């Protein structure tokens, strides 16, 4: 028995140690890939892919291969862009409280490793997208290029318009999913592009107000850092109001129920945004806006998927 215990205990410790290392690695990857950001970018790819199948009379079961290529390839391209963003912005992240768990900051991953991971992941993702369609590959590259080059390398440290530039990159995601099935000359992907572009701006402004001290300490020229919180609150409201016309453009495609839900969500967000100038708890208001922005986006996309599912037709 003693010999058995002596043999078993090191084995158990080795197994536990391996499990712990794997868990820590996965946690590091979650922070490196900005978990929620990755999901928020992959969801529109899937949604647009699904909608393209529906509006072009295709069956999901007939396109499993291209579906897997699309989801894996686009996820890799987005992941590669996020890795390169973390690699380049490590000096900023070191000054910000909210980014201290990123492996580029705590030293769990070397910067050289992250750089090569970002490059290789981006290339593999784009190569996989080449096996779908040229148009989808083009949108994948454009989204990557805008985020990495125009946003991360160029505007992030120089201009308050960095938020607008960054929003362009995320807006390409529904075009990727749709273009795998058919050319993007349909009202649905074009409107989704516009919604995502506009949505990202108040979503990001809410984050910058909530983390104002972080961005100020890091010297990032975000709108509230340069122009102040009152100006940011007003612009936040303007961007949300500009979302109002888009449900009208989608009535023919999704029906009046979708239109009603979209209008209610948009008006609810506008009402919340209008409370900004009068609030005494700006951080709490920003957190509420941030939470509502996510509810808005996920609700619209989920509803689009459900309304075009076979159980509703």
Q: Which two tokens stand for residue 277?
A: 């100038």
- Contact call for residues 146 and 161 (beta carbons, < 8 A): no
Check pLDDT > 60 for residue 8: no
Domains in the chain: boundaries? 37-312
Q: How confident is the model over 13-24, as pLDDT tens digits?
A: 566 666 788 788
Portion of the chain with pLDDT greater than 70, in percent: 93
Check pLDDT > 80 for residue 131: yes
d(CA 187, CA 1): 73
- Contact call for residues 289 and 273 (beta carbons, < 8 A): yes
pLDDT at res. 35 = 79
> How much is the pTM?
0.91
Of the candidates 105, 126, 101, the residue with the CA atom closest to the CA atom of residue 114: 105
Q: CA of 266: how far to CAs of 55, 162, 208, 234, in Å?
A: 25, 24, 21, 16
pLDDT at res. 313 = 44
Average pLDDT over the chain reads 92
Q: How confident is the model over 156-205, as pLDDT tens digits?
A: 999 999 999 999 999 999 999 999 999 999 999 999 999 999 999 999 99
d(CA 141, CA 128): 12
pLDDT category, 34, cuts 50, 70, 90? confident
Q: How confident is the model over 58-105, as pLDDT tens digits?
A: 998 889 999 999 999 999 999 999 999 999 999 999 999 988 999 999
- Contact call for residues 181 and 119 (beta carbons, < 8 A): no
Portion of the chain with pLDDT greater than 90, in percent: 82
pLDDT category, 236, cuts 50, 70, 90? very high
* pLDDT (mean) for 117-121: 97
Check pLDDT > 70 for residue 9: no
pLDDT at res. 312 = 43
d(CA 270, CA 292): 10
CATH no. of 37-312 = 1.10.357.140
Dihedral sign for Cα 117, 119, 120, 124, please.
positive
Contacts of 113 (CB under 8 A, 6+ apart): none
Neighbour-count burial of 189, counting CB atoms closer than 10 A to its CB (0-12 exposed, 13-18 middle, 19+ buried): buried
């Amino acid at each position: 028995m003693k010999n058995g215990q002596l043999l078993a205990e090191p084995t158990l410790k080795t197994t536990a140690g391996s499990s712990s290392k794997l868990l820590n690695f996965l946690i590091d990857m979650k922070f490196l890939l900005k978990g929620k950001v990755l999901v928020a970018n992959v969801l529109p790819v899937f949604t647009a892919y699904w909608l393209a199948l529906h509006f072009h009379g295709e069956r999901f079961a007939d396109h499993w291969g291209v579906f897997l290529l699309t989801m894996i390839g686009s996820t890799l391209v987005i992941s590669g862009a996020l890795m390169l963003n973390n690699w380049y912005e490590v000096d900023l992240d070191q000054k910000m409280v909210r980014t201290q768990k990123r492996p580029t900051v705590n030293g769990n991953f070397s910067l050289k490793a992250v750089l090569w991971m970002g490059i290789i992941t981006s290339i593999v993702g784009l190569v996989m997208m080449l096996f779908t369609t040229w148009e989808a590959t083009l949108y994948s590259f454009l989204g990557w290029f805008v985020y990495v080059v125009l946003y991360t390398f160029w505007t992030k440290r120089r201009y308050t318009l960095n938020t607008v530039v960054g929003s362009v990159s995320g807006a390409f995601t529904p075009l990727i999913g749709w273009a795998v099935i058919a050319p993007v000359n349909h009202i649905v992907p074009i409107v989704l592009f516009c919604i995502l572009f506009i949505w990202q701006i108040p979503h990001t402004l809410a984050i910058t107000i909530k983390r104002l001290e972080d961005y100020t300490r890091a010297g990032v020229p975000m709108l509230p850092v340069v122009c102040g919180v009152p100006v940011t609150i007003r612009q936040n409201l303007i961007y949300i109001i500009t979302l109002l016309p888009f449900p009208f453009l989608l009535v023919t495609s999704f029906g009046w129920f979708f239109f009603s839900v979209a209008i209610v969500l948009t008006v609810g967000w506008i009402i919340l945004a209008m409370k900004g100038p009068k609030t005494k708890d700006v951080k709490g208001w920003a957190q509420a806006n941030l939470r509502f922005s996510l509810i808005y986006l996920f609700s619209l996309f989920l509803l689009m998927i459900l309304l075009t599912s076979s159980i509703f037709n």
